[in-house]
Amino acid sequence: MPEGHTLARIAGALDAAFAGNEVHVSSPQGRFAAGAELLDGGVVREARSHGKQLFVEVEPPGSPEPRVLHVHLGLIGTFTIDEVAFVGEKPVVGQVRCRIEGEGHVADLRGPMVCAVITPEEEASIRDRLGPDPLREESGERGWERVTRSRKEVAALLMDQSVVAGIGNVYRCEVLFRHRVDPATPGRALARETWEAIWADLRRLMPLGVVTGRIVTREDQVEVVEGAMAKGETPHLTERTSYVYRRTGEPCRVCGTPVSMRDLAGRKLYWCTVCQTGT
Ligand SMILES: [Zn+2]
């Protein structure tokens, strides 16, 4: 499932392509025809993400009341944004739920879990239910308030979008390893310093995901990307690797113990039983 950095990238690309432009909105597949009609001919004000939720604010034609296109990609959804020389240049391929066309760009949404037109008030109420997004908010305090009151395992809490918005399985597993935290630690047994270190780390790691389009968590690679970004260069990563994610049975990169895997709330949790004993 796309994690928060992917949605932030899509929001940035949609904003760069369409903000301030009048757009043609359609549903080539037909399932979003009524919603598309509400937005068609409107002017895009802004595209923004909060965790895994995407919102595109549009001023519809002849109406001062903005409408918001709300998208959640779910497990298989994609939103691709391409440059085109002229409107109508790009043929529709596959099941396109929603197409946005503007001057020079076309964006196609396929297979989303949610694609709906909502009001700004409805957007606000969706966002009120979400935890803080490390890509948007400096403080993880709202997340901590939920964590420290919960008996649930920290590994489950990190995946709960009302605790932290935008974290999926990869960041969850990797950040717990980076801080050597036992994933079974109940939220209320987690030390405040540990939470603050995890939050600060997500604030450091997730922007690298926005820049590279990949989840970068191994410290050597994190440093490569940060070094390139500091010089204004495009980072080149040769390997796509993790500390523990999808490495069941392979040796831990720190201690050599085979990486463990178990099912937690329907998602695979990967961790090192030797390294990760902290709370
Ligand atoms: Zn280890």
Q: What is the pLDDT of residues 31-48, one digit of tens each?
A: 999 999 999 999 999 999
Q: What pLDDT sits at residue 1?
A: 79
Q: What pLDDT sits at residue 120?
A: 97
CB atoms within 10 A of CB 225: 22
Determine the distance separating the centroid of ligand 1 and the alpha carbon of 58, expressed in angstroms. Answer: 49
Q: Return mean pLDDT, the chain.
A: 95
**Residue ranges covered by each domain of the chain:** 4-128, 141-271
Would you call 218 helix, strand, or coil by DSSP? coil
Residues 196, 202, 203, 204, CA torsion sign = positive
- Domain 141-271 classification at class level: mainly alpha
Q: What pLDDT sits at residue 90?
A: 86
CATH fold match for the domains 4-128 and 141-271: no
Distance CA 188, CA 208 (A): 30
Give residue 265's pLDDT band: very low, low, confident or very high (50, 70, 90): confident
Beta partners for residue 153, in sequence order: 186
Size of the chain, expressed as the number of residues it contains? 279
Q: What is the pLDDT of residues 99-146, one digit of tens each?
A: 999 989 999 999 999 999 999 999 999 999 999 999 999 999 999 999
Q: What pLDDT sits at residue 86?
A: 80
Q: According to DSSP H, which parts of the chain are helical?
A: 4-18, 33-39, 120-128, 141-147, 154-157, 169-178, 192-212, 219-230
Nearest to 174 by CA among 185, 183, 166: 183
Give 165: exposed, middle or buried? Use CB within 10 Å, 0-12, 13-18, 19+.
buried
Beta partners for residue 50, in sequence order: 53
Give, as one character, the DSSP assignment of residue 12: H
Share of residues in the chain with pLDDT > 70 (%):
100
pLDDT higher than threshold 90 for residue 89: no
Determine the distance separating the centroid of ligand 1 and the alpha carbon of 266, expressed in angstroms. Answer: 24
Determine the distance separating the centroid of ligand 1 and the alpha carbon of 273, expressed in angstroms. Answer: 7
Beta partners for residue 69, in sequence order: 56, 117
Determine the distance separating the centroid of ligand 1 and the alpha carbon of 207, expressed in angstroms. Answer: 26
Q: What pLDDT sits at residue 234?
A: 84
Distance of CA 49 to the CA centre of its chain: 8
Buried b / exposed e along 74-93 (16+ C-beta atoms within 10 A): eeebebebeeeeeeeebeee
Q: What pLDDT sits at residue 225?
A: 94
Q: What pLDDT sits at residue 173?
A: 98
Average pLDDT of the segment spanning 230-246: 88
Determine the distance separating the centroid of ligand 1 and the alpha carbon of 212, expressed in angstroms. Answer: 27
Determine the distance separating the centroid of ligand 1 and the alpha carbon of 225, expressed in angstroms. Answer: 24
pLDDT higher than threshold 80 for residue 239: no
Q: Are 185 and 167 in contact (CB under 8 A)?
A: no
pLDDT higher than threshold 90 for residue 268: yes
The catalytic site residues sit at: 2-3, 52, 267
Give, as one character, the DSSP assignment of residue 27: -
Determine the distance separating the centroid of ligand 1 and the alpha carbon of 260, expressed in angstroms. Answer: 10
pLDDT higher than threshold 80 for residue 81: yes
Determine the distance separating the centroid of ligand 1 and the alpha carbon of 89, expressed in angstroms. Answer: 53
Q: What pLDDT sits at residue 87?
A: 76
Give, as one character, the DSSP assignment of residue 81: E
Nearest to 87 by CA among 76, 100, 68, 98: 100
Q: Are 218 and 241 in contact (CB under 8 A)?
A: yes
- Domain 4-128 classification at class level: alpha beta
Walk across the sheet containing 105-110 and list its strands: 24-26, 96-102, 105-110, 78-83
